[in-house]
Amino acid sequence: MNLLTEICFHLTDYEIFLLCYDYYKVTCSNQRDPLVDDWRVQRITLNGTARYTCRSGYRSKDGANMATCTRDGWRPNPLCQATTCGPSRDFETAEIQGNLKPEYSYNERVEYVCKSGYTGRFNLKCGQTGWLGQEQCRGKKVFYSCKKYRCWEGYSSNVA
């Protein structure tokens, strides 16, 4: 006995008709969304499922890889959304070359120039899972320290 048969066992004939009518009447499109790379539909009727992966440069909402057929179409909706990265990372040794943005698109790059005391340039790229690349400044900041000098007995210093 399957789930539908078990449910229908306790309903009137009219309730069974409505349930079965709704179940078989609701269908979702079998056509693949243009942002979806792989689309494997198990069933296109109500509560049917489809396994999917998004094209490069796009990612599924909340990490989902399974869509469900509802009265309003496939859920989640949209299945895939553009991959973006938030503000670029801050580095103690480098500054961003150009303007800061609150959000960057997939494959967009941010160029960094190393600060005084360091050499080099590098960039980070917005990838499928976030920022790719690493800080590449060479050299090290020279920190000067002051030493206290003590004069020999009988001598004085004019340095404060």
> What's the pLDDT score for residue 107?
96
> What's the pLDDT score for residue 2?
42
Q: CA 54, 60, 64: angle at the middle one, nearest 5?
A: 115
9: pLDDT strictly greater than 90: no
Q: What is the mean pLDDT of the chain?
A: 81
Q: What is the pLDDT of residues 12-39, one digit of tens each?
A: 555 554 455 555 578 888 888 999 999 9
> What's the pLDDT score for residue 81?
94
44: pLDDT strictly greater than 90: no
Q: Kindly report the pTM of this predicted structure.
A: 0.62
Q: For the chain, which domains are there?
A: 27-82 (2.10.70.10), 84-132 (2.10.70.10)
> What's the pLDDT score for residue 27?
83
Q: Which of 62, 69, 15 has its CA nearest to residue 43? A: 69
Mean pLDDT of 51-56: 94
What is the spatial distance between Cα 109 and Cα 42, in angstroms, rounded to a whole number?
39
